[in-house]
Amino acid sequence: MSSPIDIDTLPYFNPKIDRRVAIITGGNSGIGFYTVLNLYLHGYVVYIASRSKSRCLKSIKELEYRASQIKLLDQGHPQHSISNLSATSVSGEVNECSLGEVHYLEMDLSNLQSIINAVETFKLKERYLHLLINNAGAMALPYTKTIDDFEIQLQTNFISPFLLTLKLLPILERTSDAFPHIEPRPRVIYLSSFGHQFAFRYFNLKTALDYRPNFILTWIRYGIAKTAGIHFMKMLALRNPKVLCISVHPGLVMNTNVFAYWTNLPIVGIIFWCVFQIFAWVLGVTSEQGALEVIRSSLNPQFSVEENNGKYFGSQGKELQPSKVANNMDYAARTWIWTVHELSKRGFIIPGA
């Protein structure tokens, strides 16, 4: 890749002429909210996969309102770049026909059957899929098992995105075959984290790590889950060359609800809140800024399967190197085999995997 792409140059589409469809998990808050706002303004038909219909519909109303305000401001002050607006961090000129659509798609990442149901629902609504953003995640939670008998962070950050992506992969490949010359190419984006580094010198998906002190081990469990997600993108890139699969680190976004468990604890929650606020002030980025990094990777027409598949990107769309554990292809192959086996034991068969 050459120089970092200017956010103002990313393409806009008219959904009545060129229907571009995206699915994003957890698109009703944080980075996901602003990612959806950007996609909506760029003309994408966006399905927000979320377990709470009421919260999602409320977010959709807020998205539509913000988009209308941005359009009015852009029409009244065409000399001003929208990317300079701190309240929205949305770029480029928004013309009358560019707004897309936003829809709710029921999905609970802590329930694998819910993912299967969501995919079947999506198939009834759309024939093609151009973009899948695995955005939703869980961080630093106490040790908990899901209904599918996976540790909660492992399932939310890795197992569920794995199953969702592979179930949607035939649609992504069909889109690639049907429109061989479209740009940007169909792609899968996995939101990674600096926290994947917490899996240093240790990677074993078979070990529960249900020990004390939980405050330490929860971060290692988180690191293992995020490392597995990077492994997944690398393996998927090798196995499925028709679709661009990349990991994106959006920056240290500290002001989202992912720390809610710790900040809500009695007494010590105040300490955690202060620590997170200090980190956010010194090293963090806003949700709006983090979303722009996701959009750069999602819509960058310079990215290609030949040059960028399986890679890891960060600030300004620059390629980064993940940890040695995350880069280890032997580990990646073991991650793939273990996950397919565990899913098959639970009755979720993935043909060809």
pLDDT of 119-147, one tens digit each? 999 999 999 999 999 999 888 788 899 99
- Of the candidates 47, 222, 312, 331, the residue annotated as catalytic is 222
pLDDT at 78: 45
Query: Considering Cα of 231, then 349, then 123, then 49, what sign does the dihedral take?
Result: negative
Q: What angle do CA 35, 41, 46 make, to 5 degrees?
A: 60
**Mean pLDDT value across residues 262-266:** 65
- Of the candidates 226, 287, 297, 323, the residue annotated as catalytic is 226
Domains in the chain: boundaries: 7-70+97-251+282-346
pLDDT at 145: 95
pLDDT at 264: 66
pLDDT at 334: 94
Residue 9 CA: distances (Å) to CA of 67, 296, 345: 19, 10, 47
pLDDT at 182: 86
**Mean pLDDT value across residues 194-199:** 80
Lowest-pLDDT range of 24-28, 94-98, 259-263, 347-351: 94-98
- Tens digits of residue pLDDT in 43-89: 999 999 999 999 999 999 999 999 988 877 765 554 434 444 333 33
- Tens digits of residue pLDDT in 294-348: 999 999 998 999 999 999 998 878 899 999 999 999 999 999 999 999 999 999 9
- Contact call for residues 254 and 284 (beta carbons, < 8 A): yes
Closest among 186, 170, 187, 11 to 91, alpha carbons compared: 11
CA–CA gap between residue 116 and residue 148 (Å, rounded): 13
Q: How confident is the model at residue 4 (pLDDT cuts 50, 70, 90)?
A: low
222 is annotated as an active-site residue: yes
226 is annotated as an active-site residue: yes
**Mean pLDDT value across residues 102-110:** 97
The CATH number that domain 7-70+97-251+282-346 falls under is 3.40.50.720
- Of the candidates 91, 192, 297, 323, the residue annotated as catalytic is 192
pLDDT-above-90 percentage for the chain: 59
- Tens digits of residue pLDDT in 217-247: 888 899 999 999 999 999 999 999 899 999 9
pLDDT-above-70 percentage for the chain: 81
